[in-house]
Amino acid sequence: METKNNNRWVLLLFAMICMLIMGVCYTYSLFNPYVQEHFGVDQATATLPYTIFIAVFVLGNYLGGVSTTKNGMKKTLVIGYVLMFLGWFITAFLPGNLFWAMVLTFGGLFGIGDGMVYNVIVALTPKWFPDRKGLASGLTLAALGLSATIFSPMVSGWLSSYGFRRSFMIVAFIYVGVAIIGLLSLKNPPEGYMIQSTPGAGTGVAPQKQYEVREAVKTKEFWIVMALYFCAVPAYLLISAIFVSYGKSKGLDATMATLGVSIASLCQVGGRLILPTISDKIGRKSAFVVAFLVTVAGIVLLTFANGPLYVACFALLSLSYGGCNACFGPIAADIWGTKNLGTILSLTMIGFGVGSIASTILNKVLGPGTAFIVAGVIAAIGVILVFMLPGKNKKEA
C-alpha cells in the first residue's frame, strides 16, 4: 500500500532527472564535426558510432531486463552506468588512427549501458503508479525528449572551449553524477504495493496475473505489440532523417528548417507526455488509434505539402511518434503485469529495431516520395492491429 514513507512522486521526479541527464548523448550531431576532425573521417562515416549506438541500445534493453530479473535493479544500474561511463571516457583517449575503436566504445559499450539503464527506469515507474501508468511513463520519457534541447547549448560551449577529448571526458563524468543520483534514489516499491485496495489506503488497483517471460512470448498480444512497435517507426524516422534536404524541394528555407526542427522536437516531447497521460482516461487502444491516425493524416498532407504545411507535417509525425512510443510501457504493464516488464518490453522492441532498418531501406530503394506512402500504409496497418488487442476500457486495454 502507498504510505508516507513511499513518496512515489519524489521517486518519479528523480527518475525524470536521470532520464533528462541520460539524454546528453542525443546531442551527438554537435560532436560530429569534432569526430570528423579528430579521426580524419567524412561526415557520413562520423555518424557510424551513433548509428551503432541506436542499434545496440535495443540489445542493451534486453540485457537490462534479464539482468534485473537475475541480479536485481541496483546491480543492473551499476553495470549500466559503468558501461556508459567507459563508453565516453575510453573514446576521449582514442588516437586519431583508431576510429573503428569508437564504434566499439561509443556504439558498443555506451549503447549497451544506456539501454540497460533505460530499461530499468522505464520498467520502474509503472510499478509505482499502477493506477497512472500512462502519466508516469509520459513524464519520464518527456524528460528524455527535452534533454537534447536543454543540453545542446552546454555541449556546444564545451566543444568550442575544450575540443573533442575534454568534452567527451566531461560527458563521461556527467554520467557518473547521474549514476549517483540513480543509485541513491531509485528503488522498487514494496511487495504488494497498491495491488489491492483497502479502506483508507487511497486508490487501489485490482490484482492481475504477473506473466513470466516465457508465458508472455506465447501470447498473441506479445506479437501484436511487437508489430505495433514496427508500425510506429518508419514515418517519423524517414522525415527526421531527410527533413532539411527533402524540404528544399518543398520550399523550405534555412530559417524555416531551423524553426521546423525546434517545433518538431517540442511536439515529440508533448506527445510523450500528453498521449500516455490521456490513455489513463480513454484507454491504451484509443490512444494508439489516435497516434496512428495522426501519422496517416501527416503522410497524406505530406504528399502535397509545401513551406509551412510541410513543417506542420513534421510536427504531426513527431507528435504521434513521441506519444505512440511512450504508450508501449503502460500497455505492456496492463497486459503482462510489472514483475517482468523490463524484459518483456525489451523483446517487443525488436519491432522498433526492425522498423528503424526498414525506414532506411525504404528511402534508399524507393526514394522519399514512395517511401512516405508505404510508411503511411504501415501506420494504417497499425490501426488494424490495435483492434486485435483485447480489452475495452483503460484497465484492460
Q: What is the pLDDT of residues 138-159, one digit of tens each?
A: 888 888 878 877 887 888 889 8
Answer yes or no: is 196 within a domain.
no
Say if residue 257 is in the same domain as residue 170.
no
* Same-domain status, 254 and 161: no
pLDDT per residue as tens digits for the range 101-116: 999 999 899 999 999 9
DSSP 364-375: HHH-HHHHHHHH
Amino acid making up residue 145: G
Measure the CA dihedral 227/229/231/237, to 10°: -150
Do 72 and 177 have their domain in common?
yes
Q: What is the pLDDT of residue 365?
A: 81
Task: Indicate the residue type of 170.
Answer: I
List the one residue out of 149, 324, 145, 146 whose CA is nearest residue 234: 324
Q: Are residues 180 and 228 in the same domain?
A: no
Whole-angstrom distance, CA of residue 255 vs CA of residue 62: 41
Judged against a pLDDT cut of 90, whether residue 269 lies above it is answered with no
Indicate if 180 and 283 belong to the same structural domain. no
Of the residues 185, 202, 236, the one at which a domain ends = 185
Residue 144 lies in a domain: yes
Percentage of the chain modeled with pLDDT above 70: 91
| First-last CA distance in the chain | 24
Q: Is the pLDDT of residue 386 over 70?
A: yes
Question: In the predicted model, is pLDDT for residue 200 greater than 60?
Answer: no
Classify residue 168: in a domain, yes or no. Answer: yes
Tell me: do 280 and 170 sit in the same domain. no
Note whether 176 and 218 are same-domain residues: no
Q: In the structure grid, which three cell numbers stand for residue 156, read together?
A: 556546444
Question: What pLDDT score does 196 carry?
Answer: 40
Is the pLDDT higher at 209 or at 161? 161
Q: Is the pLDDT confidence value at 289 over 90?
A: yes
Question: What CATH number does the domain containing 143 carry?
Answer: 1.20.1250.20
95: left (phi over 0), alpha (psi -120 to 50) or beta: beta
Model confidence at 206: pLDDT above 70: no
pLDDT in tens, 33-78: 888 889 998 866 887 888 788 778 888 988 998 898 888 889 999 9
Residues 162 and 302 in one domain: no
In the block, cell 549506438 appears at 53
Mean pLDDT lowest for which of 18-22, 116-120, 151-155, 199-203? 199-203
Pick from 60, 58, 65: which is nearest to 87 by CA? Answer: 60
Q: Which residue shows C-alpha cell 513511499?
A: 6
Task: Determine what percent of the chain is predicted with pLDDT higher than 90.
Answer: 28
Average pLDDT over residues 208-227: 88
* Domains of the chain: total: 2
How high is the pLDDT of residue 203?
A: 33
Closest to 24 measured CA to CA, from 70, 85, 93, 100: 85
pLDDT at 243 over 50: yes
Q: 155, 90 in Cβ contact below 8 A?
A: no
In this structure, the answer to whether residues 374 and 236 fall within a common structural domain is yes
Nearest-angstrom CA–CA distance, 242 and 253: 14
> φ and ψ at 130, to 5 degrees?
-65, -20
Select from 165, 185, 205 the last residue of a domain.
185
My answer on whether 222 and 178 are in the same domain is no
Domain identity same for 159 and 248: no
Whether 111 maps to a domain, the answer reads: yes
Q: How far is CA 348 from the centre of its chain?
A: 13
Based on the fold, state whether residues 113 and 232 are members of the same structural domain: no
Domain carrying residue 343: 213-386
Residue 132, in any domain of the structure: yes
